[in-house]
Every structure is written in structure tokens, then in C-alpha cells.
Amino acid sequence: MGAAPAPRDVTSYGMGLAAPLALFFLVFFVAPLLQLLWLSLHNDTAALHWGLGQYLHFLTDPFSLSVLGSTLLLGAEVTAVCLVLGFPIAWLYQRVGPKLQTIIILIVLLPLLTSVVVRTFAWIVILGRQGIINATLQSLGVIDTPLKLLYTQFGVVIALAQVQMPLMTLPLITALGRIDSNLDDASCSLGAGSWRTFFRIVLPLSLPGVIAGCTLTYAAAITAFITQSLIGGGQMLFMPMYLYQQASTLQNWPFASAISIIFLLAVLAVVSVFTTLGRLSRGYGGA
Amino acid sequence: MSGRKRTLEAISFELVMTVIAIIALIVIIAPSLVVLIVSFTSGFSLKFPPPGYSLRWYAELWDAWQLHFAAKNSLIVALWATGLSVVLGVAAALAISRSPKLSARLLDSLFMSPLVLPALAFGLAALMLFSLVGLPVSPLTLVIGHTVVCVPYVVRNTVAALAQLEPTLLESSAVLGASRLYTFRRIVLPLIRPGIIAGAFIAFMSSFDNVPVSLFLRDAATDMLPIRMWQDLEGKLDVTIAALSSVLIIATVVMVAIMERVTGLSRRLTN
């Protein structure tokens, strides 16, 4: 009664502003994915007969399962390499002056913003029969005939690791920057050595960054169509190329849809495992 | 005694970490340098080191009309997709950034999901939808598809910039009698502009570089540069691609340098 109306909150904006993008996503993102799901639940290309035939086909076919398995394994290998190489970069970043920090960030950022085809092409030049590695080893007399590096698992892992490195390093730099440097000093003055301090203090406290980096790297590595197909060649088949072949070359859209859904679920499963680990690690880190 | 032992131990740790870090940084930067060097070869192959140096492959690139055509298409689609991403993304970021509502959190997850989901699956799904409603593949379908996968970068960077904004600034402005629109134009927008520009830049680069969505949503009339390059590389190892790659690397370095000046890109991505 007579009370002034509650003052409007001027620090936030109405949800209505999100409506255009929400609508755009509903029509062009959610609807297509639902249609993908719908089509994958049909046994024939004309989509007349409902059934789980496409999924049964995938899950009982040793070839399809091996493609899925090798894709998930590839992601794990790339993520491990990125973590082992990326962590020291983040560590070094915290120990140098601002000038060097900017240089390190720009070196890390550059590949993220350079075209993936260009980055992959660079690895073809490096790993090829006449590439740097073979040329160097031959001139040193280590090998007589060029090593086969292109079109191998090793080549794909190393090229993907370089391509995805920024996704691992950037969250690690953020996480290490949030650690109180006094903890480091305290640990050392209490008699713990540098290695012990690293594994008992720094690494556990940076777990949120490690997990964020691993999630991004893993998701990017297993879907990296261009690098997989150009460095892996025709001999190695991973899920993205398998999907593309079924959809485009063979025009088997229901089966391609089922591959997409299975691939999507695999990615979501990995991401949610990482997210759960992240939540647990934040409790452990004690914020 | 123990002090000396500890020093050795500390040195071994620092040495190992520094050496791995330097090796990692070399691994990151070396491929780009290799491409730059190889592009100046006078030979016909991607042999490294090159047998001699020349500009012949740049001359070759100058005449490669197919690549020019694809580059023009990629540029047009990237500009439209970035523009659309900024308009839709900034509005959405304003709505969800300071809202404690569950719906805001859910929308945030929805808008970010294209970053994690396999883009190839989305590309196929979008193609099926467009063919169902009878919309043939065209620059329009490409712009729509690219916007879905690029808008998360704009939303994320704008939300981050809004989170840094002092709420008291908005309250002061309101207390002093400014309308919301005036406050937005004179206070909010200038403060979040670097965040929007950084997001738009990353969105533009990822659209220009997009393969998985373009693969399904383009045809011969709308050839896109990364796909043209990929198909050229599948067929033959053409040194012209090295010259084109070098041009793209230099362009990226220049743009990143400008963005670093304008928006402090490096701080933005590590905070």
C-alpha cells in the first residue's frame, strides 16, 4: 500500500535477449540433431521401417567396433602427449617475465588460429619420405632407406598433438596462475624437494585445468577429420571418415546417422567422465 | 649437506621441465617455419631443405583461379557468419551472463554444445534437415551452418567480458538518470567491446577454417578454401599449396598481432 514499486534491477538484462539465438539453435541445431536421431532409428534408407537395425549392425560388426575403438584410443594417446608436453610450457610461463609470457602465449596461440589444413600440410612436409626427419637421419647415416612416418599411428598422434596443443596449454596456464605461490615456498621450506612439491602440491592443485585441457583436447582430437585423413591416409580409418564415407560416398544416411549418434554419445560419455572428475578435483583442491 | 642435495634436486627438476617446455614450443612453431621455407623452393617436390630458392610457386598461386574462387567464397561466408554470430551472440550473452536463473545456465550449455559435439555429425544433420525442407545447398545454408558452430566463441568471450563489468557502474549510471539504452551505449558497450571483438575474431577464423560443416553444406558452385586445399592434397602434393599456406600463416600472424594490440587477446584466453 503506497509502497514504492521495487526498483528494477539495472545490472542484468531480460532473458528475452537470448530468444533469437535460442530460436536459431532450436531450428538449426536441435531440430537437425533430432532428425538425425529419428533417421538412425529406421532400418531402411527410405525411413519406412522403425527399428534398431542400424545400431545392431554397428555393434555386432567387428570392423565398425574396431574403428570406434581405434578412434577412442587415438584420442587418449593424443591427450597424453599434449599433457606431457603442455604442462611444462604452462610451468615455464609462470616463471618468466611479462615479455616472455606474451611470446609464449603467442607461440601457443598461433597454431590454434592457423588453418588446420595448413598445419596438417606442414606435417606432411616434415614426416614425408623426403621430409626433415628422414633427410636428417639419412645424412647422419642412422638409416639407409627413408622411414615410413606418414600414414602411421605415430605420425597421426604427433601431428594431432601439435594441432591440439593450445587447447591443453591455455587452461593449464590459467590453472597454474591461480595457485598461490606461497604454497610452493612453504612446501620447500618444510623440506619437500622440487619434484615432491610438484607432484604433491602443484599437480593436484592444477587438476581443474588439467581436466579442462584434457576434455577439450580429447574431443578435438577424435573429431579432427582433416589431420586424421591426410596423415593417416587410406589405411587408417577413424570415426569421422567412416561417417563421411557412409553418408557421402555410399549415401547410406540411416547408418551414417547411427554412426553419428554413437560417436556423439561416445564423446558425451568421455566429456561427462572428465566433468565429474573435474567436480571431484575442485573439492580436492579446496578452492 | 642436505642443502646441497636439495639444490641438485631442484636443478634437476627445473632442467627437465625447462627442456621439455622448450622442445614443446619448438614442436609447436617448427611446422609453420618449415612450410614458409619449403614454399620458396625452386624444385617440384616438398623436399626439405629445398634444392634452391625461387618465387615460382607464388607466381603459380597468383594464377590458381580455383583457389582464388574458393578463397573468395570462404571469405564471404566467414564474414556473414561472423556478423550473424555477433548480433545473435552478444544479445544472448547479455541475457544469460548475470542471470542466476536455471534457464540461463541451460541456455549457456546449449549455446556452448557445438564446441564439444562432433561437427561432422552436425554437418550431416543440417544437410538432412535442409534437404527435407527442400532448401538446396547454397551460401545461405553454409552461413547458417557456420553460425551454429561459430556463435559459441562470441557468446563465451562476451559473457567473460560482462563478468568483469562492475555492477556499481550500471547502478550509478541509473541513479544519475541515464536510461538503460543510454547506459548500454555509453558504459557497457565500450567496456565489453574488446571481448566482443576477440570473440568475433575467433569466430571468423574458425569459420574460414571450417571443414566438417562445409563438407556437407557446399557444392561445386560454393567451393570453400579449406576443402579445396584438402582435396588438392589428397590427389597430389602440390607445392602451390605450400605458397598458399605461407600466405595464410603470415596473414594469421599479422591478424593475431593486431588483435593482441586491440583486445589483449593473450590475457583474454588465459583468464
- For B29-65, how does the pLDDT look when each residue is reduced to its tens digit (9 = 90+)? 988 898 899 889 888 888 778 888 888 889 889 988 8
> Over chain A (287 residues), what is each successive 10-residue block's mean pLDDT?
56 85 95 93 84 91 94 95 94 90 88 86 86 84 84 92 91 87 76 80 85 90 90 88 91 92 91 83 55
Q: Taking a C-beta distance cutoff of 8 angstroms, is the pair B81, B232 a contact?
A: no
Write the residue in B6, B30, B94 that is nearest to A17 by C-beta. B94
Q: In the prediction, which pLDDT does A285 show?
A: 47
Size of interface A-B (CB pairs under 8 A): 287
Please report, as a single letter, which amino acid is at residue A14: G
Nearest-CA distance from B84 to chain A in Å? 10
C-alpha cell at B76: 564471404
Interchain CB distance below 8 Å, A32 and B155: no
Q: Taking a C-beta distance cutoff of 8 angstroms, is the pair B110, A25 a contact?
A: yes
Report ipTM (2 d.p.): 0.88
Q: Which residues contact A102 (CB under 8 A, 6 or more apart)?
A: B260, B266
What one-character DSSP code corresponds to residue A6?
Answer: P
Distance of CA A101 to the CA centre of its chain: 24
Q: In the prediction, which pLDDT does A131 show?
A: 82
Q: In the prediction, which pLDDT does B5 show?
A: 57
Write the residue in A110, A198, A253 that is nearest to B128 by C-beta. A253
Tell me the residue length of chain B.
271
**CA distance linking residue A188 with residue A242, whole number of Å:** 52
Q: In the prediction, which pLDDT does B84 show?
A: 97
Interchain CB distance below 8 Å, A121 and B229: yes
Q: Please name the residue of chain A whose CA is at the shortest distance from the CA of residue B29.
A: A107
Neighbours of A279 (CB within 10 A): 12
Interchain CB distance below 8 Å, B98 and A39: no
In B, which residues are within 8 Å of A86 by CB distance?
24
Distance of CA B269 to the CA centre of its chain: 12
Q: In the prediction, which pLDDT does A283 show?
A: 61
Write the residue in A107, A193, A263 that is nearest to B121 by C-beta. A263
Q: In the prediction, which pLDDT does B187 show?
A: 87
pLDDT < 50 regions, chain B = 1-3
Nearest-CA distance from A207 to chain B in Å? 16
C-alpha cell at A176: 597454474
In B, which residues are within 8 Å of A35 by CB distance?
125, 128-129, 132
All structural domains of chain A, each given as residue ranges with its CATH number in brackets, are: 61-286 (1.10.3720.10)
Burial environment of residue A135 by CB neighbours within 10 A (0 to 12, 13 to 18, 19 or more): middle
